[in-house]
Amino acid sequence: MTPGSWGALTLRLAARAAVNPRLALDLLRTGWAFRRRAWWRSAPFLPLPDRAYLRWRMYTAYADENAVPPLDDVIRFARWRRQTMGL
């Protein structure tokens, strides 16, 4: 797995979440909010984000649709989302 890949980011987030339950909950809620609509209707039958939407989000945030966000940006966003939405 390359250091700047989505898989590497996922593993690093999981490691951070394993030692911080509040962060784990924030990340799970954020992931759930990004899930593809009607995700249960087509393979892989997982609540993953829509690729086109994710590319658009990366383009608007980093001016590169193939960007992988830094670990700290994802954590900061998940915490910000909790604080602003009162979750």
Q: What is the pLDDT of residues 47-69, one digit of tens each?
A: 999 999 999 999 999 999 999 99
Ranges of each domain in the chain? 6-85
72-81 pLDDT, tens digit per residue, is: 999 999 999 9
Query: Judging by beta carbons within 10 Å of its beta carbon (0-12, 13-18, 19+), is residue 65 exposed, middle or buried?
Result: middle
